[in-house]
């Protein structure tokens, strides 16, 4: 992402200058981390990322919060590259929660337009097609603008036959709402088969609910990263993350660097997963 220096706040210009000075050192560090990861144990099959901190990033350098979301969208493209480089086969990015609808109408409208813009840009990106990335939107987008819904559905349809990577983009998403939707869908399915409520209650199994979740057919995320310094899930994939490993990074999402991502993956590789045993 190229940024014109003219018109940027002094703080942002200072950040750019510092980045120019430190970039060679970070590149060397990235290469070291990549070597360690490639020589290490199994990488995550499914990474979930809570992309948090766009607004606080913008405010910290004197920009409008809308610009923070714009920078955050660009960062998502970078992270997609990093995941492809490590051959991560399943990625879920959380970009807009059910609670985010309560923000100012101007901010929400900007986000809806941004989702449409990013969907159209992603479809033009050769990386998507060269790597066979299947993109799916998980969540409830029925109240999104027509522009956003059309662009997102077009993106889903255009990539529906790809099988290189599964990229889930969680929009209008809430973990409790997902579980509730799954249970309703399951009950409806059982009722249509003529199963009575008592029989449903006595035979219901967890795997049956899992088949009705947004991520049905994919492995549960084994690794979840959250940026911005917040140490909580906020409802992200509540059902699926029962045995996930977590990594919390202090950097705001637009500031999340490749070295931060690689250090997170290295941390995952160094852990011993017991699954409650």
Domains of the chain: 11-269 (3.40.1180.10)
Q: 54 by DSSP, 3-state: which? A: helix
Active site residue 52: yes
Q: Which of 74, 100, 140, 150 is catalytic?
A: 100
3-state helix, strand, coil in the chain (%, to 5): 50, 15, 35
pLDDT at 8: 52
**What's the DSSP call for residue 211?**
T
Number of H helices, E strands in the chain: 10, 6
Q: Phi and psi of 217, rounded to 5°? A: 90, -10
Q: Which residues pair with 188 in a beta bridge?
A: none
Cα–Cα distances (Å) from 34 to 21, 26, 242, 246, 258, in that order, read: 22, 12, 28, 20, 10
Examine the residue annotation and report whether 16 is marked as an active-site residue of this protein: no
Q: For position 84, what pLDDT does the model report?
A: 97
Candidates 270, 224, 261, 247; CA nearest to 81 is 261
Output the CA torsion 44→164→52→256 (10° steps): 80
List the catalytic residue out of 52, 70, 220, 222.
Answer: 52
How far apart, in Å, are the Cα atoms of 157 and each of 168, 225, 259? 14, 28, 34
Tokens describing residue 205:
């199994």
pTM: 0.89
Residues of the chain with pLDDT under 50: 1-7
Are 134 and 160 contacting, i.e. CB atoms less than 8 angstroms apart? yes
Q: Look up tokens 């990625």; give the residue.
A: 91
């Amino acid at each position: 992402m190229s940024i014109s220096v003219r018109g940027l706040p002094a703080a942002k210009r200072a950040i750019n200058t510092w980045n120019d000075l430190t970039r060679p050192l970070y590149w060397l560090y990235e290469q070291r981390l990549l070597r360690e990861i490639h020589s290490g144990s199994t990488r995550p099959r499914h990474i979930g990322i809570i992309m948090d901190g766009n607004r606080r990033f913008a405010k910290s350098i004197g920009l409008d919060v809308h610009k923070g979301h714009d920078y955050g969208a660009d960062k998502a493209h970078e992270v997609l590259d990093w995941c492809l480089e490590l051959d991560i086969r399943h990625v879920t990015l959380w970009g807009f929660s059910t609670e985010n609808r309560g923000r100012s109408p101007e901010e929400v409208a900007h986000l809806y337009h941004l989702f449409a813009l990013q969907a159209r840009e992603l479809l033009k990106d050769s990386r998507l097609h060269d790597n066979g990335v299947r993109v799916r939107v998980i969540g409830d987008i029925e109240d999104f603008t027509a522009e956003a819904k059309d662009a997102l559905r077009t993106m889903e349809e255009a990539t529906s036959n790809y099988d290189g990577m599964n990229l889930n983009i969680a929009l209008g998403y809430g973990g409790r709402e997902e579980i509730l939707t799954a249970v309703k869908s399951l009950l409806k399915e059982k009722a249509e088969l003529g199963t009575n409520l008592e029989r449903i209650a006595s035979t219901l199994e967890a795997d049956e609910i899992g088949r009705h979740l947004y991520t049905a057919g994919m492995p549960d995320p084994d690794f979840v990263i959250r940026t911005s310094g917040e140490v909580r899930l906020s409802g992200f994939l509540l059902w699926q993350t029962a045995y996930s490993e977590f990594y919390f990074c202090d950097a705001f999402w637009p500031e999340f660097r490749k070295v931060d991502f690689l250090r997170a993956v290295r941390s995952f590789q160094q852990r011993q997963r017991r699954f409650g045993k």
